[in-house]
Structure formats: structure tokens, C-alpha cells
A and B are shown apart, each in its own frame.
Chain A
Amino acid sequence: GQQVMQIPQYQHVQEGEDFTTYCNSSTTLSNIQWYKQRPGGHPVFLIQLVKSGEVKKQKRLTFQFGEAKKNSSLHITATQTTDVGTYFCAGRANDYKLSFGAGTTVTVRA
């Protein structure tokens, strides 16, 4: 069945530095979504990518969808303490099943 894998599991970042988290699917995806979960909270939608090779930006966050629509990445520049949390990718193949990756938990050193 469809599996979504995400690396790294943990990311410890110095404030001001950049980092990237990666998401890979075992099957071709119709779309990929990214969510952020703050400590003690629930996942909140960030963005959706649909087209092959698509790139979207939200301020310091850059999201990419691979050409083969089987992988995606989230790049954060100039990390701030407000970026702390767990970032999940979620993919959908051809049905309503929305599968999440294991998440990347980000901590920031001031």
C-alpha cells in the first residue's frame, strides 16, 4: 500500500540557519500537503502542491513537488523560534486516503 516517508525525524537548528525536510512516497501522488503541529496542538494545514515540479513560497518557507510526483521538500530559511514544531507531509494517490509521513520535529537554539 501507499507509504509516505519523511526525513529527518528530528532537526535541531541554530536560530538564523536554514534547513530542509524531505518527503518520499512509494507511489505517485495526486497531490501533497504540508501541515505544522505546534507542541501540544493539532496539525494545521500549510499548503498543497498539485503539479509536477511545482514550487510555492510562504514567506521563509519554500515547498517543492518533485517532477515524478513522488517526493517533496520543505525548506525554511533564517529559522526563528516560531518555527518550532513538527512538520508533516501528507499524500493522496487516487482515492480519498490521506497518508501522513512520520514528521520532522524541529527545535531551535536561540
Chain B
Amino acid sequence: DGGITQSPKYLFRKEGQNVTLSCEQNLNHDAMYWYRQDPGQGLRLIYYSQIVNDFQKGDIAEGYSVSREKKESFPLTVTSAQKNPTAFYLCASSFDGGRTEAFFGQGTRLTVV
């Protein structure tokens, strides 16, 4: 089945630890996105990538890092520098950037204690 997969669904980490969220797609999409969702704040863009080996900061990139070494994969690392990392993280991809619909993964709920 084609789709976009995020893992794990739930993740718990201790404060001060870096954590990497996985996002894989087999839709042959060029563009991939990471969003953070908090209650009442909608989807805020963290990073986006138009093509392999290229990515751009979104609106709230501080404390996060990404890589795009393969077309299918766009992992997000939440670093210890992120002041409030507990949130619901959504990965998305689209065939032609924002020109076509974005497909979302199921999301990862990260809790930092």
C-alpha cells in the first residue's frame, strides 16, 4: 500500500535528551513537511524539503533539525534546545510541493517528562 508512515505513534523521553521521529513515504513525492500541532494553534511548520539534500526552515525551526538524504525519508530530531517539545508531530508529503494535495502520516505524540 502506498502511503506515509510515521513511527512511533507515542514516544516518551526524559528532558534533556534528543529524540528522532521517523517519517517515510512510498508515494514518490518530492516535497515533505514537518508540522507541530498544539491545542488551539493549528499546524505550525517546522521544516520543509522540496527535494533530496535540500530543506528549508519553517516558522518554528528553533530546537529542531532534519535531514533529507533519501527521497522517501525525512526524519525530524527534537533537540534538547527545544524549550517545550511535548506536542503532536505530523509529517506530510506532496507530489508537486504546495501545488497538489498533501498527504499526512498518522502523527507521533511526543511527551517529554
A residues lining the B interface (CB < 8 Å):
1, 6, 9, 30-31, 33, 35, 42-45, 48, 88, 90, 92, 95-103
Contacts and interface: CB of A to CB of B under 8 A. Distances in A.
B4 to A, nearest CB: 9
The residue in A42, A45, A48, A95 that gathers the most chain B C-beta atoms within 10 A of its C-beta is A42
A42 B101 contact: no
A45 B42 contact: no
Interface of B: 31, 33, 35, 40-45, 48, 50, 56, 58-59, 90, 92, 94, 97-107
B42 A100 contact: yes
A88 B43 contact: yes
Nearest to A48: B101
Contact of A45 (B45, B58, B103): B103
Contacts of A88: 42-43
A97 B48 contact: yes
9 contacts: A43-B90, A48-B101, A96-B56, A96-B98, A97-B48, A98-B33, A98-B48, A98-B92, A102-B40
Contacts of B44: 100
Given A30-B98, A45-B102, A97 B58 contact: yes
